[in-house]
Structure 1
Amino acid sequence: MLAPIGADERYSPFGRVLPMLAYDAGHPPPARPVDGPGTDLVRAGLDEVTTALEARSGARASTLRWSRQLLAWLLAYPGEDWEQRWLASGADKAPRSWAAAAHAAGVVAVAGNAVTGCGLLIQARLLRPSYSWLLNTHFAVLFDRFPQANDPHEFARLRELPLYRRAGEKARHDAIAALVRVMIRTGKRLPQLTGDDLLGYADLVKASGRHRREHLAWELMVELGPFAGEPPTLRSAWTAKSSSRQYTAHALIGRYDLPPHPVVDLLTDYLTEIRPRLDYGTWTHVARSLGVVFWRTILEINPGQQDLRLTAEVAAQWRERLMTTTQGLPRSDYHAHLINVRAFYRDVSQWALADPARWARWAAPCPIRRIDVQTLRKAKRQRTARMQERTRTLTPLLPQLVETAARRRDWSGRLLTAALATPHGEPVTVDGVTYVRHDPPKPGRWNRDRIWLRDPDGGLLDATRLEADGFWAWALIETLRHSGARIEEVLELTQLSLRHHTPATTGTLVPLLHITPSKADRERLIPMSPELVQVLLAVQRRARGDADAIPLAVRYDPAEKTHGPALPHLFARRVGARQEVLSAHYVRTVLIATADAAGLRDGDAPIAFTPHDFRRLFTTEAVGAGLPLHIAAALLGHLDLDTTRGYTAVFPDEVITRHQQFITHRRTLRDAAEYRDVTADEWAEFEKHFQLRRVALGDCFRPYGSPCVHEHACVRCPQLRLDPAQIPLLDSIEANTHARIREAKGKQWLGEVAALRETLYHIGRKRDQLGAPTTRRQTPG
């Protein structure tokens, strides 16, 4: 009889121990459903099982022989059925060595025969190995043949789903393998599986150190029907049942391991009371300030503290500790914690007047002194100065970043297009650099649907990812700098965010960008420039792809810890078979890569743009071009003009000029009520500026509030953006100008000749902007 195999051998395919899977391997499988497949063979004898396998499976004679040898081997171990004998053998706890041990003991001639024979027993539902065993054992055909023998009609329905057809071969295989493993372990049929079954398996896979590959399986089961009542994606389901969800006040305070205390109960009641008026991110920050930074530190200083009435010594020690972190570094959010604690004391004191029975016993003097709060003003000024200094540093670097993003987008797109048209092993030349097309060595389901190239140094390039990163970096930079929106607002944009308005007075269509409520819960409409329209149309085309409509995607809000509804998000990409909204980590990654490619540096230090930098640059440019501050605040969604003012970084040589213009404008047009909302007339004037941009040859890009310095001689004006559709009109103007030059020469109007040649020169410049052909090119004079 083969000795039981060691119970401590739990290896992953990567050679790492899997401690989190040990409990699954050491416990018997869950109870088998009464009507489950294989129930009639669980307690049958060796001959009955062999006969049934031969009749049902259609397997080769050699596979049947190896299965019988394994069953004969299992008979030597105690147990009432085959599963108990399987566990008693120790094979379930040694997925990497049990087959070799069976071969060494003479059970099978070759170790691989034991795996093949065991696969047939699993297919027949005689054995239900643990997840750790299933994940660490390689089967050649089990995941293809198991669906053929168990619920073939349900698996056929699953393969007909549009989501399954859109997925790549590798994603399909991973989804089927996940469902088969869950069916094997639970003993259930496919329609009987529940969300908890797949979630349990997914958690074990994550604990083993592997990447999660169950996303498509979850979405297929939702679309197929068994998971119809579950969240639409695995991420949203996992979030709802994990630490990434929204906590109640009691659960949130419980995370801080505070000892039982009446003040802890008070903190819970206080957090519950203020929850409706705060967003979840701010609320959790307040909870941490009160629970960890304040009360836990107070108990460390004075373990006998019974209420909120602190002595002067305890309050002074707490303020001193607050200034540094546990690592001994200066605390950057020092004043934020002070404000939270001060608000806590003041709220309790005010509530004590309205409801003394509940709050009066906790009213106490606040340990935050007036001088502590007054230092906040200095800290705000210092923070504003740092923000403006950074804006002044980034302003001259923005054109280089924009140019690099556009160049990388074009290069990566041409590289991918050339690679797609080139077979394996053939050269691909782009911009004078020769690459070699390289396909993965394992075709079929192991191909990740990516295009690989070998660079001249022999390294591998993922052309598919390069093209995607180049496009999204360009799209994000252009959208952020032309809209001034927050990054979370950009990632929340959907197809429904693109609006338009046609005023009855002019009939000219004005494109608008609808920003949904975000940080300040204040929705707004932003007039879009032609550049922003072109960018968002390109994003819309990419998000739609070959489909008739933009696929739906579910966005996870890391601040609110919630998943939004399925919407046609614009800034979403295909990840495997699912459509996912770009994550904040991905946004930072592509922005850093673009800045690095542009070689942006401040002295010896590299510089990277953050998404919020573009919001400050947008504000500085708009206000510097003459846009009134309160209109800029409305466009940005700010509730306070001081916030908008802090975003603007006015350069020193413009300070006096801008200040004089502001004083003059205020004295002539406004009364003392400076801080007010935008009036309807001001909005009408603001919109009218954009409506008057349309001229015969194209669009005038004169800044808001500035006069026409060329006195409407548009063909000479550098602010004119020529419309390609108006090339025939430009040809007519050019022909007429040549005729007038000939007339002026004949009559010796030399001044007129010089002016007309200047016009021809600018006509040629306008053609160069569009790359339009020209027959003659005149220069001034």
Structure 2
Amino acid sequence: MTTATLKAVSTAAALKLPRDRFPARTVPNDWAATRLRRAAVWQHTTGTPFVLANPVVQAKRVRGLAHLLDWLEDFPGASWQQRWLASGAESLGAQWRRAPLHWLNHRGRRSSWLPSELSNGMKVLICADVLRPSLEWLVSVPSLKGDLAPGLALVRDRDGFARLQAHCDGRADLSAPSRRLVLQRVAVLLAAKGGTVGDIMLGDVLELAETETAVRTSWPKDLPVFYSVLRELEIFGPESPTGWRELRTGGQQTPEELIDRYRIECRPIRDLLVDYLRERQPALDYNSLRGLAYFLGCRFWRDLELHHPGIDTLHLPADVATAWRQRLTSRPETVTGPDGATFMATVPRISFRECLAKVRSFYLDLSQWAIEDPGRWAHWVAPCPVGREDTGRRKHKRQLKARMDARTRERLPVLPVLVRTVDHRRRTAEALLRAAWQTEPGTTFTAGGQTLIRPLLRPGTSADKIWAEDLTSGKRRDLVQEEEYAFWAWAAVEVLRLTGVRIEELLEISHHSLVQYRLPTTGEIVPLLQIAPSKTDAERLLVVSPELAEVLSTIISRIRQPSGPVPMVPAYDWHECMWMPPAPLLFQRRFRTERRAISHGTVRKMLKSALADTGLVDPADGRPLNYTPHDFRRLFITDAVMNGLPPHIAQVIAGHRDINVTLGYKDPRELHQMGENPQVASSGRWAGELQRYYELTA
């Protein structure tokens, strides 16, 4: 199965959930136009408005109508729709004309014009609502569906198509092919479902998307554009999501769905795990519940079933429990060697103690619950296969801190290299794109020390892309995407290293997060960055340094609309699996014809691409050095401490939960009450910022 096919299958599966919420219209068995007698159909389809100005084409259309009506009358049915279904031509898809051609050939009607005449006649019968072929048939006949919009606009819903055309023409971000595709899809829905443009339902659009995916085995083009156009015309109800991507996310899953992902064979154990998750659900957020289902369902019980088929009890023999714990400590991973070759290797699983702790809690909870409700839980009580010594929490924390300290020692000295690299990549990519815009296709240009050539435009090439060929490597490069990735990699690195925020906090920074505070003593205005609650569930304010202010102003200037405001975009919370209301987020970018919030995965991909250009390697294994967004938090705190800031105060500024719990800090203002003065006798870059922070929190 190809990658495109797998993507199509996953897309179709993602559309099934919203289709349950937004059902499509059903096509009735019969309607007035399809029950007309032949004389009435003939009179209707050969008169106004179906008469063409070109007599030659009109004659072909009339002959095609006669052939189709003769052919359909030979099949049983009380309506033309029933005869069409009985003919079997719909199952032939794009080869549907074979059926009437074969019938006509047996009756001595042969002509090279017959295929064209049949297509013209079929278009008239569909526009006249005499026939309503299925969506599958319409999608699979490209030559016919492309001609339906003008005919339907003329005879079915003139005002609706005029309104749709005017709206598409008014959107400068829509290309001509995108406009044609919107009109074509609307025509297909009207041809299959009947009615007018205003009668289209959200479920119809979902059914069309699923049909196009199944027929083409690939992701249909410009579906988000099609959805946004219809929603902007207020064709859907107010409960419709703001964007197409919101329909493709399934939302939060129930405990049953979370466990059933792992295909547990033992039904009693499966039901027990579901009941356990349901009991724990009120006290957990969704991300924790999903992680608990993963550890118990996948890493624990499913692993036991794979290695011990038929197992059906929680009372594990000693050898089974020992073997499971041993398997849990390692995992397979694709490793890239120094020569660039990839191979499978077994590497230690860092999080195995977390799984052991979850399993131990599971067994201990069952024992405790059995005392309170023995009829429900007592028969599941069994010796726990994980001892207290197996979790090794204190030792694990020391090892974890040692690993984190080692990562910080390796990455802090080379942070300036990364900062210079991302800035150089941004400026070079911007210069290349600017030079390419000013260069005619087929011409060579030089910028940023690189010489490229703009190839001649190919038919159907998107105007949003600027392609160039590298004369040295011969590689074809998308300069627009390169500039996008270079800019946002620079923005992410700068904001992360200057604030120490978490990645989810970074992506939630909006235009509203920038606030001002006037010091009551001097009247000086201090710019502040408001960090929304995340892991610590505590909001905090960061003083915006001049360096950070320049970065934020550059981001705002890039994303601001010509009219002034920052665009409102919805963001998806990957932890809670829910969409957030639209907000003027700073980390957003244009994706084809829509603006999207930048995701966690995209930020990591951009960082990986930027690190590849630094040439830095990990001294431990010689592989390319890897930075995670969380590394910048540790670098931020370490850098602050090295420049004179007390460690516990640096941790509080960064919103570090563990330090807050250890020292009892609930709010940075408590530092002043405890006698902790953030001001230090340092002439480093932190001196002025710390003085302002002290005045603010005091």
State TM-score, norm by structure 1. Answer: 0.72
Choose 1 or 2 for highest CA Rg.
1
Per-residue Cα deviation, 1:137-189 (whole angstroms, up to 9, x for no partner): 33454345534443232233344559961432143333333333222222232
- Equivalent of residue 128 in structure 2, options 115, 124, 127: 124
Does residue 1:189 correspond to 2:187, yes or no? no
Provide the residue aligned with 1:404 in structure 2.
421
CA RMSD of aligned residues (A): 4.0
Provide the residue aligned with 1:415 in structure 2.
432
Does residue 1:544 correspond to 2:560, yes or no? yes
Give the superposition deviation at 1:115: 4.3
| Distance in 2 of aligned mates of 1:113 and 1:529 | 73
Provide the residue aligned with 2:486 in structure 1.
470
Give the superposition deviation at 1:448: 3.8
- Equivalent of residue 252 in structure 2, options 246, 249, 252: 246
Q: 1:340 to 1:57 in 2, by over 3 A?
A: same
Kept after mapping to 2: 8 A contact 1:73/1:107: no
Q: 1:315 to 1:43 in 2, by over 3 A?
A: same
Kept after mapping to 2: 8 A contact 1:171/1:577: no
Question: How do 1:314-713 residues align onto structure 2 when only pairs under 5 Å count?
Answer: 314-323=320-329, 329=346, 331-355=349-373, 358-374=376-392, 376-431=393-448, 433-438=450-455, 440-442=457-459, 447-456=462-471, 460-602=476-618, 605-641=623-659, 676=665, 680=669, 682=671, 702-704=685-687
Per-residue Cα deviation, 1:659-711 (whole angstroms, up to 9, x for no partner): xxxxxxxxxxxxxx956556637469999859x99xxxxxx863349999xxx
Provide the residue aligned with 1:714 in structure 2.
none
| Distance in 2 of aligned mates of 1:163 and 1:276 | 50
Kept after mapping to 2: 8 A contact 1:69/1:107: no
Provide the residue aligned with 1:222 in structure 2.
231
One-letter code aligned to 1:395: L
Kept after mapping to 2: 8 A contact 1:302/1:314: no
- Equivalent of residue 173 in structure 2, options 167, 178, 183: 167
Does residue 1:76 correspond to 2:71, yes or no? yes
Segments of structure 2 that go 5 or more residues without pairing to the other structure are 13-24, 334-344, 692-698
Kept after mapping to 2: 8 A contact 1:499/1:514: yes
One-letter code aligned to 2:402: A
Q: 1:145 to 1:164 in 2, by over 3 A?
A: farther
Per-residue Cα deviation, 1:71-130 (whole angstroms, up to 9, x for no partner): 444432524344444445554334444458877964652755654554444333334334
Segments of structure 1 that go 5 or more residues without pairing to the other structure are 1-12, 22-28, 644-672, 694-699, 709-781
Kept after mapping to 1: 8 A contact 2:264/2:302: yes
State the SS of the aligned residue for 1:489.
helix
> Percentage identity across aligned positions?
34
Give the superposition deviation at 1:263: 4.3
Q: 1:406 to 1:62 in 2, by over 3 A?
A: farther
- Equivalent of residue 48 in structure 1, options 35, 38, 41: 41
Kept after mapping to 2: 8 A contact 1:67/1:121: no
| Distance in 1 of aligned mates of 2:458 and 2:311 | 69
| Distance in 2 of aligned mates of 1:93 and 1:20 | 24
| Distance in 1 of aligned mates of 2:271 and 2:512 | 45
State the SS of the aligned residue for 1:281.
helix
Kept after mapping to 1: 8 A contact 2:556/2:586: yes
State the SS of the aligned residue for 1:579.
strand
Give the superposition deviation at 1:339: 0.6
| Distance in 2 of aligned mates of 1:34 and 1:83 | 7
Kept after mapping to 1: 8 A contact 2:256/2:274: yes
Provide the residue aligned with 2:218 in structure 1.
210
Does residue 1:267 correspond to 2:250, yes or no? no
| Distance in 2 of aligned mates of 1:82 and 1:579 | 46
Paired residue total: 641
Q: 1:681 to 1:586 in 2, by over 3 A?
A: closer
Q: 1:137 to 1:449 in 2, by over 3 A?
A: farther
Give the superposition deviation at 1:572: 1.0
| Distance in 2 of aligned mates of 1:431 and 1:123 | 57
Kept after mapping to 2: 8 A contact 1:50/1:68: no
Kept after mapping to 2: 8 A contact 1:70/1:107: no
Kept after mapping to 1: 8 A contact 2:269/2:312: no
Moved more, 615-624 or 426-435: 426-435
| Distance in 2 of aligned mates of 1:459 and 1:579 | 29
Q: 1:601 to 1:317 in 2, by over 3 A?
A: closer
Per-residue Cα deviation, 1:377-411 (whole angstroms, up to 9, x for no partner): 44443343333323322223322222222222222
Kept after mapping to 2: 8 A contact 1:99/1:111: yes
| Distance in 1 of aligned mates of 2:390 and 2:551 | 48
Give the superposition deviation at 1:496: 1.3
One-letter code aligned to 2:189: V
| Distance in 2 of aligned mates of 1:338 and 1:155 | 62
State the SS of the aligned residue for 2:138.
helix
Give the superposition deviation at 1:298: 5.2
Moved more, 294-303 or 342-351: 294-303
| Distance in 2 of aligned mates of 1:326 and 1:455 | 37
Kept after mapping to 2: 8 A contact 1:230/1:237: no
Question: How do 1:283-298 residues align onto structure 2 when only pairs under 5 Å count?
Answer: 283-297=289-303
Does residue 1:109 correspond to 2:113, yes or no? yes
State the SS of the aligned residue for 1:76.
helix
| Distance in 1 of aligned mates of 2:119 and 2:419 | 57
| Distance in 1 of aligned mates of 2:93 and 2:449 | 52
| Distance in 2 of aligned mates of 1:53 and 1:32 | 26
| Distance in 2 of aligned mates of 1:176 and 1:354 | 64
Q: 1:130 to 1:321 in 2, by over 3 A?
A: same
Q: 1:204 to 1:558 in 2, by over 3 A?
A: farther
Kept after mapping to 2: 8 A contact 1:554/1:567: yes
State the SS of the aligned residue for 2:542.
strand
State the SS of the aligned residue for 1:560.
coil
Does residue 1:146 correspond to 2:152, yes or no? yes
- Equivalent of residue 198 in structure 1, options 205, 209, 218: 205
Provide the residue aligned with 1:31 in structure 2.
27
Kept after mapping to 1: 8 A contact 2:64/2:120: no
